[in-house]
Structure 1
């Protein structure tokens, strides 16, 4: 039996989040669209259920594994399973298949594996769990697996915890936002350009709707 799809975000959800952050609704919608074009959940045929949108970062797994177990053990794992632990980023499968990579990584270290993936509509890395007020990374993942509203709540916490991001989303300084949110390689993927375009689209749609 197919599991029911988790509840999607409503206009009211976006409006409430924008009020909390004191930014435009269009700005939040823009981030959501660029980070997860298909939404916060995808149906996983393999598992037979809806699961949060994820992307596993093998280079993050390597760094955290090395910090915990040491360089020699980390390199040994790189040689054994470079698809899930590597000094370089990449190895993405995409879509719901990314959960296969997480499941494989969890066999090496459950906590590190969950911390090394980005979760939900806003693709927040698991290792931020403590800074965002969750009891554990498992608690964070469970929240991300409930509904898109839970994912939006995590995004609001994430922005509130970083003054640079908060100021950037309020002023729509997309270059600064993308640099802080996506990292130094943001230009390669044109995150700033894409977010600016998405913001303009939603701002225009809102203007037409309220005309």
Structure 2
């Protein structure tokens, strides 16, 4: 059986301010919003075990799915047709991963959720990697890499507008599933955001759309930064003599009369094409 005690040990670097700023820029939201979600989703805990291996959970349902169920009978502890709470927790999860790697390495890595935000390996592409091994290798380095994977997952699942506009219930429903209320994820995120933002409220996508409409645009005020909103921002920037980016950056927000003094990262640093 393979030895993952050494294979999956990495630098285990903690989160830095620049990691939060990078994720906020990618998602087009405030740093305070990223910090709030990170605190709630990680429980305020490190993404690494004391031995510098990433925290993991092995998902037997995914291993069943990715291997066509051919190991259900012989390895029922790591391959099940439905979700069951069969986790061992902590370092013992690597024992389950070891067992799966001996059967099918790629499926095993894809069936494991990694790091601070527990993003499954099967999501390697949305996290920006060409294969699951490259994704896993990055997760060994830092919590910043864990945060990057989270940002990719949020973007792929079109939850960035919810995060940008601080619609905590909608975000928690999409990220945590319909049982989010039981754990009060939305309330916890709202409370954490209030602490990190100092109580300040930044402009939302809806605010940007309304400000553009007041200046002659004819946008649906739907809170989604789609291609029409992008085009309207570009037209406004052109008329205002600003760099034409299609992004509601701080200079554009200020020209629209929308304050963004409390957060150095643009509210809409990345616009969706939806």
TM-score (norm 2): 0.62
The aligned counterpart of 2:21 is 15
Contact 1:34 1:191 in 2 (8 A): yes
Deviates more, 1:171-180 or 1:182-191: 182-191
Structure 2 unaligned regions, length at least 5: 1-5, 202-261, 263-274
Q: Structure 1 residues 133 and 18 mapped into 2: Cα distance closer, same or farther (>3 Å)?
A: closer
- Over aligned residue pairs, what C-alpha RMSD do you find? 2.7
- Residue 191 (structure 1) aligned to one of 160, 185, 189: 185
CA distance in structure 2 between the aligned counterparts of 1:57 and 1:200, rounded to whole angstroms: 34
The aligned counterpart of 2:165 is 171
Secondary structure, counterpart of 1:155 in structure 2: helix
The aligned counterpart of 2:60 is 58
Pairwise CA distance, 1:136: 0.9
Pairwise CA distance, 1:30: 2.4
User: What is the CA deviation profile of residues 14-58 of structure 1, one whole-angstrom value per residue up to 9, with x for unaligned ones?
Assistant: 123213322122221222223323222112xxxxx3111212111
Contact 1:36 1:53 in 2 (8 A): no
CA distance in structure 2 between the aligned counterparts of 1:53 and 1:205, rounded to whole angstroms: 33
Count of aligned positions: 193
- Residue 47 (structure 2) aligned to one of 40, 49, 52: 40
CA distance in structure 2 between the aligned counterparts of 1:184 and 1:57, rounded to whole angstroms: 19
CA distance in structure 2 between the aligned counterparts of 1:136 and 1:20, rounded to whole angstroms: 21
CA distance in structure 2 between the aligned counterparts of 1:57 and 1:97, rounded to whole angstroms: 13
The aligned counterpart of 2:175 is 181
The aligned counterpart of 1:85 is 79
Contact 1:33 1:39 in 2 (8 A): no
User: What is the CA deviation profile of residues 52-99 of structure 1, one whole-angstrom value per residue up to 9, with x for unaligned ones?
Assistant: 121211122222222xxxx5x2xxx33333221112231112223222
Deviates more, 1:136-145 or 1:18-27: 18-27
Q: Please tell me whether residue 116 in structure 1 is matched to residue 123 in structure 2.
A: no
Using CA pairs below 8 Å that are at least 6 residues apart, which structure has the higher relative contact order? 1
CA distance in structure 1 between the aligned counterparts of 2:28 and 2:66, rounded to whole angstroms: 35
Structure number with greater Rg is 2
Pairwise CA distance, 1:132: 3.0
**Bigger share in helix:** 1
The aligned counterpart of 1:46 is none
Contact 1:31 1:122 in 2 (8 A): no
Contact 1:58 1:90 in 2 (8 A): no
**Bigger share in strand:** 1
Q: Structure 1 residues 85 and 191 mapped into 2: Cα distance closer, same or farther (>3 Å)?
A: farther
Secondary structure, counterpart of 2:53 in structure 1: strand
Contact 2:55 2:115 in 1 (8 A): yes
Structure 1 unaligned regions, length at least 5: 44-48
Q: Structure 1 residues 11 and 191 mapped into 2: Cα distance closer, same or farther (>3 Å)?
A: same
